[in-house]
Chain A
Amino acid sequence: MSSEAATQPSGSRSLHRFANPGRFLRLADAVLPWVAAATILTLGAGIIWALFFTPPDYQQGQTVKIMYVHVPSAWMAMFAYTTVAAASAAALIWRHPVADIAAHAASPIGAGFTFLALATGSLWGKPMWGTWWVWDARLTSVLVLFFLYIGHMAIANAFEDAGRGRRAAAILALVGVINVPIIKFSVDWWHTLHQPASVSQIGAPAIHSSMLWPLLITALGFKLFFVTVLLLRMKSDILAVRIKTLRMMSLGER
């Protein structure tokens, strides 16, 4: 490990600090118990608050309870994709091995959140809009996001040369990032059935604090869940690389 660090130019040391898988593993192990505990606390508090201590909406009645899982899922769907794209850029530009592992570890979690945004949105749309699905700009762009995740996961394994597959996946992730602002602003750019943003409005959010606080705490819980599972998956993927190296070494020695 020390020999690896010594071969790097000292100027880029700080940048490449986390490019070292061994150092990353130690950092992850130190951080994981705290992040996991914070996830359980915020997610538990947020969901209990949302389920038992929030009022029904004056227009939507109790269906507004779906918001507390739908909105955090949708936020995380976009956040995870941005993570995949940023990590892919770092992997392509600096050949950062841990960034490449991060991109592939984040992708399935993001796909899960995107699926949840679509499924809970559908369950909310049926009673409120009278339909499970419409091909409007917001819903369609989120469906495209889901397919981008699936493509990113599939393309990495579609090449015989794993390095080429991962590079192709990184390029797909970077091209697809254009979809993230399209999702965000789709409700402003086009007439959609989906309501516009209520939380991030400039000035006062168009949502009462009795609903805003449990929503924000649940969203924080979702984000911490993402960080926890991301660290676990990255750890697992680094171990997989080590296993592969050791297997090749033991074959070479035979």
Chain B
Amino acid sequence: MDAVREYLAMGGYAAFVWPSYAITALVMLGILVLTLRSLRQRQHALKSLEQAVGPRRRRSRRNEEAA
């Protein structure tokens, strides 16, 4: 237990070492989460749009080819 406490104290510099790691984790995870969230939203939006527009688009393209 003392060894753990001594480790966490970081030789008296705990107040500087741990916040450095915490802010790094926070910023990197934050960027990742925001990126994944917008990707999911866009994947979802694209899918529903393609379902709505897709059939008409394909039909019109086939018409063009026929013409």
For the complex, would chain A's binding face be called helix, strand, loop or mixed by DSSP majority?
A: helix
- Interface flag for B28 (CB, 8 Å): yes
Q: Is B32 an interface residue (CB 8 A)?
A: yes
CB of A62 within 8 A of CB of B38, answer no
B21:A115 contact, CB within 8 angstroms: no
Asked if B39 and A249 make an inter-chain contact with CB atoms under 8 angstroms apart, the answer reads no
Q: Are A239 and B27 in contact (CB under 8 A)?
A: no
Is B23 in contact with chain A by the CB < 8 A criterion?
Answer: yes
Q: In whole angstroms, what is the CA distance A247 to B20 when docked?
A: 44
Assess the A116–B53 pair: CB atoms within 8 A. Answer: no
**Is B10 in contact with A232, judged by CB distance below 8 angstroms?**
no
Contact B13 A127 (CB under 8 A): yes
Residue tally, chain B, CB below 8 Å to A: 31
Contacting residues, chain A, for B21 (C-beta < 8 A): 47, 51, 65, 69
Q: Is the interface of B mostly helix, strand, loop or mixed?
A: helix
Tell me the chain A residues, 200-254 only, with Cβ under 8 Å from chain B: 225, 229, 232-233, 235-236, 239-240, 242-243, 246-247, 249-250, 253
A140 in contact (CB, < 8 A): no
How near does chain B come to A173, taking the closest CB pair, in angstroms?
19
Q: In chain B, what residue has the closest Cβ to A63?
A: B13
Q: Which of B20-51 contact A (CB under 8 A)?
A: 20-21, 23-24, 27-28, 30-32, 35-36, 38-39, 42-43, 45-46, 49-50
Please tell me if the beta carbons of B31 and A229 are within 8 angstroms of each other in the complex. yes
B13 touches A61 (CB 8 A): yes
Known contacts A69-B20, A73-B24, A126-B16; is A240 also within 8 Å of B42 by CB? yes
Can you list the 9 inter-chain pairs with the closest CB atoms, starting with the nearest? A62-B11, A239-B42, A236-B39, A62-B10, A69-B24, A120-B20, A66-B20, A246-B49, A61-B11
Known pairs A61-B13, A62-B12; list 6 more (Cβ under 8 Å). Answer: A51-B21, A109-B31, A124-B16, A233-B35, A236-B38, A243-B46
* 22 chain-A/chain-B pairs, Cβ below 8 angstroms: A51-B21, A62-B10, A63-B10, A63-B16, A65-B17, A66-B20, A70-B20, A108-B31, A109-B31, A112-B30, A112-B31, A116-B28, A120-B20, A123-B17, A124-B20, A233-B35, A235-B39, A239-B46, A243-B45, A246-B49, A250-B52, A250-B53
